[in-house]
Amino acid sequence: MTWKRRTLAVLCFAVMALGFHANGGVYVTPHNIIVLFAFIGPLTILGLYCRLGLKMPLALFFRFVPLPFGLLLSAFFISVGLRYEHPFVLGGLIAALAGGCLATVGINLKIDEVRMFDRPRTLSLAAVLGLALLMPIGTVLWSLESAALRHFWTPINLGIAIAAFGTLYFAIESKQSPLDRAQSASLNAVLLITGFLVYEYFVGLARVEFSEWTAILTAQNVMTLVAAFTLYFVVVFVSICHNQIHELPTRHWHLVETFLFFVFMVIAPESILELEVDQMRQDDLDQINQSQ
């Protein structure tokens, strides 16, 4: 009966997604397809490595890998969209949605399917992670003519993220295992950098001399957040490969909260009330122009 229930679950999810699309709530655009390709391609490589190379149960992989990888890609494409004034700002959110959907699948798989598996070799693990993280950059360079590789290699952004991680890693109680400390430090580095990013964003809006550079400055600051997300994802993937997952559900939840806070504070759309006020002002201007 298990396969029947899973089939019904997949069918119900497909009906829900098609319903949203038919209702006008989901728009399939070329930008969304590019983001999905950048998400599915590396995730497939990581999944094959875990399943075929390490004999890892898919339940464990889907439970913990797609979500942080999807949030990482969303932050990356938001930064690209801000830097090049491209629809990737909103299209990138599809990666977070896809990661959340796959994580839901993993959460609902049987817990007893998670068993012991092979441990990875350091070189192969580094190679797979490097390939997975470079593929989205290659996708952007292929899809945007104006994109340059130097815009994705900014040592100051990586340095800030590593400094935040190091500060927290060495401040955490040393009784924890190195991977547990790394998980906590990388998560809190994301929280810390998000706070600085939002602060600098509003400072940029308030200072007239920086207003025209706000989008570019925000894009650079988001790249720092992307570096922090990358550190967290790498730590999580290494932890999963070594089966140290005890605190990951709670940490993933805090990661989602932080990402949503960043989205709502920086790129949230106008509310219905704001749209109504703007429309009322436009109507008043139209009446003034007509009276003149």
Q: Quick check: is 214 in a domain? A: yes
Out of 63-77, 122-136, 260-274, least confident range: 260-274
Find the largest Cα–Cα distance for the chain. 79
Q: Quick check: is 130 in a domain? A: yes
**Region of 126 on the Ramachandran plot (φ > 0 left; ψ -120 to 50 alpha; else beta):** alpha
Asked whether 193 and 229 are in contact (CB, 8 A), the reply is no
Q: Quick check: is 291 in a domain? A: no
pLDDT tens by residue, 83-106:
777 777 777 888 888 898 888 877
**Three-point CA angle 223, 238, 263, nearest 5°:** 30
Number of compact structural domains in the chain: 1
pLDDT tens by residue, 152-190:
777 888 888 999 999 888 887 777 788 999 999 999 999
Q: What's residue 219's pLDDT?
A: 67
d(CA 177, CA 245): 12
Reported pTM: 0.84
d(CA 63, CA 73): 17
Alpha-helical runs (H) found in 25-154: 30-48, 58-64, 66-84, 88-91, 93-107, 122-143
Residue 282 exposure: Cα atoms within 13 Å on the Cβ side: 6
The answer for residues whose C-beta is within 8 angstroms of residue 225's C-beta and 6 or more apart is: 75, 79, 190, 193, 194, 197, 262
Q: Quick check: is 162 in a domain? A: yes
What's the domain range around 248?
A: 2-285
Higher pLDDT pick, 159 / 273: 159
3-state secondary structure (DSSP) of residue 225:
helix
Letter string b/e over residues 213-228, b meaning 16 or more CB atoms within 10 A of that residue's CB = ebbebbbbbbbbbbbb
Alpha-helical runs (H) found in 154-247: 155-171, 178-206, 214-241
The answer for residues whose C-beta is within 8 angstroms of residue 240's C-beta and 6 or more apart is: 50, 56, 60, 61, 64, 65, 248
Q: Quick check: is 11 in a domain? A: yes
245 has a pLDDT exceeding 90: no
Q: Quick check: is 290 in a domain? A: no
Angle between helix axes 214-241 and 248-266 (nearest 10 degrees) is 170
d(CA 34, CA 139): 8
5 has a pLDDT exceeding 90: no
254 has a pLDDT exceeding 60: yes
pLDDT band at 232 (very low <50, low <70, confident <90, very high): very high
Percentage of the chain beyond pLDDT 70 is: 80
- The secondary element (H helix, E strand) that includes residue 252 is helix 248-266
d(CA 41, CA 214): 33
